[in-house]
Amino acid sequence: MENTVKLPTKNLYAIILASGFIIFFSSLEAIMAAKDRGLYDAWITKAGSDADLGLYISAVFMTYFLKIMIPAALSVYAIAARNKIGVNSLFVFIWSVLVAGGGAYAFIGRNTSSVFFYLVMAGYAILLLSVLSVSDAYSSGKYK
């Protein structure tokens, strides 16, 4: 591709650190939700009589997987963009939309009584700013 530039190392590290931040705190939140009896009891009353613990654990970890899918994929793609592929304005647009959507998904399932919610949302904000800052590197063109 002719219109691509190499992803700057600074941006790569920012993306990987923000993604790791999101994944780590989402993991802690999922573990805490899976072992909390009060959350399970509240889920049982909402889900109905045919729900059991296995279904609850599956729901918690499916939500966890959906929360970390975008940051994990972005980290892998950022490493490939640094080494082989390169980035352009389409990279910034697509990943900005995906990260904003992932942040919105995490916000919709909010549990404001959990400190992990605020940490994950801060991680998504940092990740979005990191992806948007790649456009500066692309527009300057000095990383070819």
Which domain does 82 fall in, by range? 9-140
Q: Is there a domain that residue 4 lies in?
A: no
Q: Is the pLDDT of residue 131 over 80?
A: yes
In this predicted model, which residue has the larger pLDDT, 137 or 87? 87
Q: Is 58 within a domain?
A: yes
In a domain, 26, yes or no: yes
Average pLDDT over residues 55-59: 87
Domain-embedded: residue 37: yes
> What is the per-residue pLDDT across 6-49, written as a single tens digit (0 to 9) for each?
788 888 899 999 999 999 999 998 898 888 888 888 888 887 76
Instruction: Decide if 1 is inside a domain.
Output: no
Residue-wise pLDDT for 74-116, tens only, equals: 999 888 888 887 777 788 888 899 999 988 988 887 777 788 8
Residue 3 belongs to some domain of the structure: no
Number of domains observed in the structure of the chain:
1
State the burial class of residue 50 (Cβ atoms within 10 Å of its Cβ: 0-12, 13-18, 19+).
exposed
pLDDT, position 1:
47
Q: Residue 124 falls within a domain, yes or no?
A: yes
- 50 inside domain: yes
In sequence order, which residues have a C-beta less than 8 Å from that of residue 131 and are 6 or more positions away? 15, 74, 92, 95, 96, 99
Mapped to the 3 state alphabet, what secondary structure does 64-92 carry? HHHHHHHHHHHHHHHHHHHHHHCECHHHH
